[in-house]
Amino acid sequence: MAILKVENLKKFFGGVRAVNGVSVEVERGEVLGVIGPNGAGKTTFFNTICGVYNPDGGKIIFQDKKIQGLTPFQIARLGIARTFQIVKPFGDMTVLDNVISAIGINRYKSIWGSFRNSRVSETVDKAKRLLEMVELGEYGKEKAGALSLGYIKRLEIARALGINPKIIMLDEPCAGLSHDAVKDFIQLFKKLKKEGLTIMMVEHNMPIAMALSDRMIVLDYGEKIAEGKPKEIQGNEKVIEAYLGKEEEEDA
């Protein structure tokens, strides 16, 4: 059962076709990896699905509902969570508040409802549990902006989980992480998978992407050039050419 269907999605910036007719279906509970050389349009693809950009063509169907053209906050309320390639913590708020703010996703709908107390024990406990899950339990009272990058990335995941999403989109979760931090992330990822979450992941780190994904799609110049299980992608000529070709360009 496909939870998310992307049909012929297009996003242009002036003359640049950042996303040029990409289609893919994501099954409930699976991990879909999105890879491709630099500039392939992976983050634009993510941003368009999440509503940050308005698509110039195509459809996005989430749980049988058309969501293309909706605003990011509407899409979040429908159950799509995301993290960011360049981290966006709520820096001057505490780590705990960062997560609590996400849990209140349904409270923000009505003006009256939003005036209610956010620090009820139910919410605080849930936030603490999420922080425990990402192993940030002791840092609840720290200001989010004071944490190191690896911890902030984990916080983003906890925050994203706070909205009780049906699908979570991770944008380069391993970018800029040290070797140890990547290992920690893999442990966390396994926990997420155990929860039965559907996960879409843009990842530049090929071995990680291959190891963690159930299926993968490969983007190049805004188009999908391959799709399949990691083993199939590994041997795919077009994929190798895309990456190699880019290397040659960069060397030139």
Partner 1 sequence: MYEVVVAVNIGIFIMLALSVNIITGYIGQPTLGHAAFFGIGAYTSAILTGKYSVPFLLSLPLSGLVAGFIGALLGLASLRVRDDFLAITTIGTNFVVVAIFQYIPFFGASLGMAVPSAYIFGIKITYLGYLFLVIFLIISIILFLRKLEKSWFGLAMGGIRNNEGAAESIGIDIKKFKVIAFILGTAIAGIAGCVYAHYMTFISSVDFAFVTSITILSMAMVGGSGTIRGPIMGAIVLGLAPEVFRFAMNYRMLIYGALLVFTMRFQPEGLLGERSFLWTNINKLFKKIYSKKEIESGM
> At a CB cut-off of 8 Å and minimum separation 6, what does 103 contact?
123, 126, 127, 162, 163, 164
Question: Of 80 and 218, which CB lies nearer to partner 1 in the complex structure?
Answer: 80
Token duo for residue 10 = 């297009």
Is 149 a residue that touches partner 1 (CB under 8 A)? no
Is 115 a residue that touches partner 1 (CB under 8 A)? yes
Using CB under 8 A, pick the residue from 30, 63, 90, 150 that binds partner 1. 90
| Integer CA distances (angstroms), 132 to 117, 139, 168, in order | 23, 10, 19
Closest listed residue to residue 80, CA positions, set 90, 65, 95: 65
Using CB under 8 A, pick the residue from 113, 178, 211, 229 that binds partner 1. 113
> At a CB cut-off of 8 Å and minimum separation 6, what does 63 contact?
3, 4, 78, 79, 166
Q: By the 8 A CB rule, do 4 and 61 touch?
A: yes
β-pairing, 198-202 with 167-171? Answer: parallel
Is 101 a residue that touches partner 1 (CB under 8 A)? yes
Give the total of residues touching partner 1 (CB under 8 A): 38
User: Three-state DSSP class for 199?
Assistant: strand
Question: Of 107 and 193, which CB lies nearer to partner 1 in the complex structure?
Answer: 107
Rounded least distance, CB 186 to partner 1, Å: 24
Rounded least distance, CB 83 to partner 1, Å: 8
Using CB under 8 A, pick the residue from 108, 211, 229, 245 that binds partner 1. 108
Question: Which residues, 161 to 200, sit near partner 1 by CB under 8 A?
Answer: 162-163
Question: Which residues, 116 to 135, sit near partner 1 by CB under 8 A?
Answer: 116-119
Binding mask of the shown chain, residues 25 to 54, with x at each position contacting partner 1 by CB under 8 A: -------------------------xxx--
Question: Which residues, 58 to 77, sit near partner 1 by CB under 8 A?
Answer: 71-73, 76-77
139: left (phi over 0), alpha (psi -120 to 50) or beta: alpha
Note the Cα 187 to chain centre separation in Å. 17
β-pairing, 16-27 with 215-220? Answer: unpaired
Is 102 a residue that touches partner 1 (CB under 8 A)? yes
Chain residues binding partner 1 by CB under 8 A are: 50-52, 71-73, 76-77, 81-82, 84, 88-93, 97, 100-102, 104-108, 111, 113-119, 159-160, 162-163
